[in-house]
Structure 1
Amino acid sequence: MFQRVFNKIIGFYKLSSNMSLPLIVILGSTGSGKTKLSLELAQKFSSEIIGADSMQVYKGLDIITAKATKDEQNLATHHLIDVLSPTEEFTVVDYRDRALNIIDRLLSENKIPIIVGGTNYYIESILWKILISEPGSVKTNKPGIMPNNDHELSNEVLHKKLQDLDPVMARRLHPNDKRKVLRSLEVLYRNGKRHSDLLAEQQTSEGGSSTGGALRYPNTIIFWLQCNQNNLDERLNKRVDLMIEDGLLNELESFHTQYNANRIKNEIEPDYTKGIFQAIGFKEFHKYLLLSPEERKNPEGEKLFSTGVADLKMVTRRYARKQTRWIVNRFLARTDRQVPPVYGLSTDDINKFDENVTNAAIEIIESCLSGTPSKYNPLPKRINVKTFPNSTADTNRCEICNRIFVGEHQWAAHKKSSKHKRMAMKKKKEGEVAK
């Protein structure tokens, strides 16, 4: 009943004021309450939720990836959660293409899409016209195709090939990042244009910026769930303890047995840089999971368990800080790109979540739908905040350490590092001795 009335109201707004439905995006550090708000808004507006989490797209590890429970998922339709097997490859472009199809369908059905998740580059791929479609997904008359033996070439040879064909892109990619180097070559072969030229076209298009293309959905509302860092740290520590109580170790052990045990038996190290194996928590308990049930009960096993818990809490807190920096950097500190309004909602007092978060968000959405001013104002720009360099920055080689760094941020951090200074001092002394 509500949906029929709601659709009529939406239809009226569209006809009377030529407004389009908003796209709702819920941002915030892990543990800030994003799932709770998404469920309440979805039920209020008969909307559907689209996950934006690079780990939750995979089946399994429900506890460690903090998925909405099955009961919670039954409260509203969820998309892009539990859609892949743990061993499948899934790129940000794959995510973007699937998500855009869902968003456009929901909008055509007069439903407000709600994007919620903590994977920042997933959210950016939806909001802005960035990235180039996967090779083969764009129809072209260009005859070029990827040579079959390119995948077998060494990292050094592949990067040299990219340098010859697209030197601008080659300077942006680490020579050892084989996947991205191959992708740039495939983009060139499939489209008949250099990857760097296609990205430049996006940036110079109407509404484009140094960060990428124009805003894809101009009528977007962003809710940033904010929490005092000390409060959030305490909340995240308790969250890890609750995960342990809920059976986190059994979940990790079962997954480890299914996907890692055979690799280790054959002396193949598990790769914690791909797919769901990147999930925070898996790597932290790696040594503990290698122990037998008997070994886990002895002092060494207990020590490894305690270390795993402490490490999990630490990396979770660190990840939350990283998410906050990204929000400030990509939304509030940018002056050269189209950015939707960002509304800050405090989650410090859990007992006042409805008052400070849910009700405020509902009022903002209803004001947007009715075309009337909201009593809440979006957050101001933070002009004086130092932004992180864009991903288009060049690579830098440290001749002293014989290492390559992508972007000025990494390069500046390396030059200040104690390791670099020690190597520089060592080389200096060796030079003096040689004289």
Structure 2
Amino acid sequence: MAAKLHPHDKRKVARSLQVFEETGISHSEFLCRQRAEEGGGPLGGPLRFPNSCILWLHADQTVLDKRLDKRVDDMLAAGLLDELRGFHRRYNQEKVAENSQDYQHGIFQSIGFKEFHEYLITEGKCTPETSNQLLKKGIEALKQVTKRYARKQNRWVKNRFLSRPGPSVPPVYGLEVSDVSKWEESVLEPALEIVRSFIQGRKPAAAPVRMPHDETENKRSYHMCDLCDRIIIGDREWAAHIKSKSHLHQLKKRRRLDSDAVTTVESQSISPDCDKELKEKGSPGQNGEELRPSV
């Protein structure tokens, strides 16, 4: 299992060790047994509820971004700042004073709190203008990270369910929610029809979402880039790495060093006799000879 997990992925490494500690079975053996079960596949064991489906609500990115911005504005209007101040006063203020704050673990890493760190720790200690600027900065950061997280969620759905389908992956039915004025006919009614079809054991009229994929792709393959001194897990990640700017920069640097080394070796490989002959001849203009301009 160690070869399938990135050494920097502490969460997955810890989980793998936890499986062995609690069951006495290595994580790799545990997964192997799951895949061998009827209905299992490359991603794991069979589904707990075999007759299941996924309803994926998706919208145009521009429309979604506007909704997410409005969502943040609505949260602020509903009292988000008061909630943040109270949480900061009860759980965070002392940690900040002790310089022991860690926004990478637990609830403190949640979206919506750490973005207002500067505003919260300086509120009442700076000018109103500065405080207002920090507040605007926090609001903008919250909007940006919220939109970034939404994109990450969509990528996860595509990578987990669409790009790597298998027997243990339920069908995904897309529902377009860009125009909420058409919620009944575009979302609710199609969703109910899909669910009824599954309950009644018949094939839905709507087709599930399909994406082109490579069946030979291995998401757990191990690659070591000696050039960059990095470990890469997954065929897709490896393909992206060897095309990345950092890798190409290291490749160019290595080629330049190799070229310089070859030039140095060639200059040092001149025979002593040849070198002596060149010195005796000297450069043009020596030994009484003068350079004459060509006509």
TM range (shorter): 0.7 to 0.9
Q: Aligned to 1:283, which of 100, 107, 114?
A: 114
Report the CA distance between 1:218 and its aligned residue. Answer: 1.4
**d(CA) in 1 for partners of 2:257, 2:114:** 39
Percentage of pairs with the same residue? 43
Report the CA distance between 1:217 and its aligned residue. Answer: 0.7
Report the counterpart of residue 307 of structure 1 in structure 2: 137
Cα deviations across residues 60-102 of structure 1 (Å, max 9, x unaligned)? xxxxxxxxxxxxxxxxxxxxxxxxxxxxxxxxxxxxxxxxxxx
Whether 2:210 is the aligned partner of 1:378: answer no
**d(CA) in 2 for partners of 1:182, 1:294:** 41
Report the CA distance between 1:373 and its aligned residue. Answer: 5.9
Contact 1:329 1:388 in 2 (8 A): no
Q: Map of 1:335-350 to 2, 5 A cutoff? A: 335-350=165-180
Tell me how many residue pairs correspond in the alignment: 261
Contact 1:388 1:409 in 2 (8 A): yes
Distance 1:181 1:368, change over 3 A: closer
Distance 1:187 1:369, change over 3 A: closer
- Report the 3-state secondary structure (helix = DSSP H, G, I; strand = E; otherwise coil) of the residue aligned with 2:53: strand
Paired letter, 1:287: E
Paired letter, 1:324: N
Whether 2:83 is the aligned partner of 1:254: answer no
Whether 2:158 is the aligned partner of 1:295: answer no
**d(CA) in 2 for partners of 1:411, 1:223:** 31
Report the counterpart of residue 238 of structure 1 in structure 2: 70
Q: Map of 1:1-400 to 2, 5 A cutoff? A: 169-178=1-10, 180-270=12-102, 272-295=103-126, 297-299=128-130, 301-371=131-201, 374=204, 376-384=205-213, 390=219, 392-394=220-222, 396-400=223-227
Report the CA distance between 1:399 and its aligned residue. Answer: 4.5
**d(CA) in 1 for partners of 2:66, 2:53:** 29
The alignment's C-alpha RMSD in Å is: 3.2
> Which structure's CA Rg is the greater one?
2
Distance 1:210 1:367, change over 3 A: closer
- Report the 3-state secondary structure (helix = DSSP H, G, I; strand = E; otherwise coil) of the residue aligned with 2:173: strand
Flag structure 2 segments of 5+ consecutive residues without an equivalent: 265-295
- Report the 3-state secondary structure (helix = DSSP H, G, I; strand = E; otherwise coil) of the residue aligned with 1:273: coil
Report the CA distance between 1:256 and its aligned residue. Answer: 2.2
Contact 1:215 1:338 in 2 (8 A): yes
**d(CA) in 1 for partners of 2:210, 2:61:** 21
Report the CA distance between 1:191 and its aligned residue. Answer: 3.2
**d(CA) in 1 for partners of 2:68, 2:37:** 42
**d(CA) in 2 for partners of 1:308, 1:349:** 30
Paired letter, 2:162: L
Cα deviations across residues 112-134 of structure 1 (Å, max 9, x unaligned)? xxxxxxxxxxxxxxxxxxxxxxx
Report the CA distance between 1:303 and its aligned residue. Answer: 2.8
Distance 1:293 1:420, change over 3 A: farther
Cα deviations across residues 244-267 of structure 1 (Å, max 9, x unaligned)? 222222222222222222112111
Report the CA distance between 1:189 and its aligned residue. Answer: 4.5
Paired letter, 1:358: L
Paired letter, 2:151: R
